[in-house]
């Protein structure tokens, strides 16, 4: 063990306090976060000048996502990302599922459209209705974008490249967030999309994603192979768990964090379904009120309490979605 200690040149033994006390700069993430935060802020200023209101929750979600992105790559998680498998696995889930979820809830595309001129808004909407956009936002495609990358990362040379190359490592910090956004944007539908899909589709997809996360975690925990075993052994780390035990902990963290990360998304989908349901109910109530008002007006003009029988016909019997339920199809 003494020989290993002499050859080891990494950070000291990991402690929970490192999550807030250990830091390292990640220039690409820092620069991009500052840029995105500034652009978002300019959009807010433009809206304020035109007296348009913007939900505070969206602003909080956007900047929370940027701060989390910085913390995941620059705090103790980033310091030990190439030393401990557990740190890397936790980082992957946070970058792929939590950071993009918060950024998507910030509705940056809606902000850009609202803060732009009519021509700029038309360009944004035209881009969203293009064929490439519709293909990327198709449920099967966007779901594969989220589910497949972790499997490729842990079971291809991609993983070891990110451990030995700074360029590959920085690319991982960026590409995971982009892939996560490609998934959450069309699923949440907070921002405009090329084609809207029922929120229930997102619920089923989330269930499938939970199963995939569980399968990946189980394989890492109970599989016989050790990911990047030669690399981790070459570090000569004299502290902490063994290479195999570290992977067991990392697989468990990936499994648990992946399932937990899906809970806020499910909550957002359920809230969207409830809001849309209330809107549809209000529209139905308004249609009923309008129908009643028309019937009363017809009786008043005709001077008869009977009125036109056709005007007394309930409106829902002519609705194609409700006709069969209320027996209109049999009439």
* pLDDT tens string 81-128: 999 999 999 999 999 989 999 999 999 988 888 887 777 777 777 777
Closest to 147 in 3D by CA, of 80, 109, 185, 93:
93
The answer for 122, left when phi > 0, alpha when psi is -120 to 50, beta otherwise, is alpha
CA 102 from chain centre, in angstroms, equals 7
Give the integer Cα–Cα distance in Å for 136 and 128.
10
Does 298 score more than 60 pLDDT?
yes
Tens of pLDDT, residue by residue over 221-269, are 988 788 999 999 999 999 999 999 999 999 999 888 877 776 766 666 6
Give the integer Cα–Cα distance in Å for 259 and 212.
10
Contact call for residues 265 and 203 (beta carbons, < 8 A): no
Mean predicted confidence (pLDDT) in 66-79: 95
Tell me the H-state helices in the chain. Answer: 2-7, 18-21, 27-49, 56-74, 76-79, 85-93, 99-105, 108-115, 118-128, 131-136, 139-155, 158-164, 166-188, 199-222, 229-235, 243-302
Retrieve residue 152's tokens.
């490729």
What is the percent of the chain where pLDDT is above 90?
42
Contact call for residues 45 and 118 (beta carbons, < 8 A): no
Give the integer Cα–Cα distance in Å for 233 and 253.
21
Mean predicted confidence (pLDDT) in 25-39: 95
Give the integer Cα–Cα distance in Å for 127 and 134.
10
Minimum mean pLDDT among 22-26, 77-81, 189-193: which range? 189-193
Contact call for residues 270 and 283 (beta carbons, < 8 A): no
């Amino acid at each position: 063990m003494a020989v290993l200690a002499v050859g080891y040149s990494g950070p000291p033994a990991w402690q929970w306090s490192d999550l807030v006390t250990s830091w390292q700069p990640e220039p690409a993430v820092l620069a991009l976060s500052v840029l995105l935060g500034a652009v978002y802020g300019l959009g807010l200023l433009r809206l304020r000048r035109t007296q348009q209101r913007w939900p505070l929750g969206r602003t909080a979600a956007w900047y929370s996502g940027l701060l989390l992105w910085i913390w995941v790559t620059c705090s103790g998680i980033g310091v030990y990302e190439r030393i401990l498998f557990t740190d890397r696995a936790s980082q992957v889930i946070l970058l792929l599922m939590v950071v993009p979820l918060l950024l998507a809830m910030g509705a940056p595309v809606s902000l850009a459209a609202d803060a732009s001129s009519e021509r700029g808004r038309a360009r944004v909407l035209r881009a969203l209705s293009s064929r490439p956009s519709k293909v990327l936002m198709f449920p099967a495609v966007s779901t594969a974008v989220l589910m497949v990358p972790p499997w490729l990362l842990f079971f291809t040379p991609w993983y070891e490249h990110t451990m030995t190359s700074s360029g590959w490592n920085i690319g991982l910090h960026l590409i995971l967030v982009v892939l996560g956004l490609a998934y959450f944007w069309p699923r949440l539908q907070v921002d405009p999309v090329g084609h809207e899909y029922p929120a229930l589709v997102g619920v089923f997809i989330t269930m499938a994603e939970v199963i995939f996360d569980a399968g990946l975690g189980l394989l890492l925990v109970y599989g016989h192979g050790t990911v990047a075993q030669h690399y981790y052994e070459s570090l000569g780390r004299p502290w902490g768990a063994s290479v195999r035990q570290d992977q067991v902990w990392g697989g468990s963290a990936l499994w648990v964090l992946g399932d937990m990360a899906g809970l806020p998304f499910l909550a957002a989908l359920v809230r969207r379904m409830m809001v849309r349901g209330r809107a549809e109910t209000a529209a139905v109530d308004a249609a009923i009120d309008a129908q009643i008002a028309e019937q009363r007006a017809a009786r008043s003009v005709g001077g008869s309490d009977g009125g036109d029988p056709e005007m007394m016909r309930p409106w829902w019997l002519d609705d194609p979605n409700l006709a069969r339920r209320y027996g209109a199809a049999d009439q």
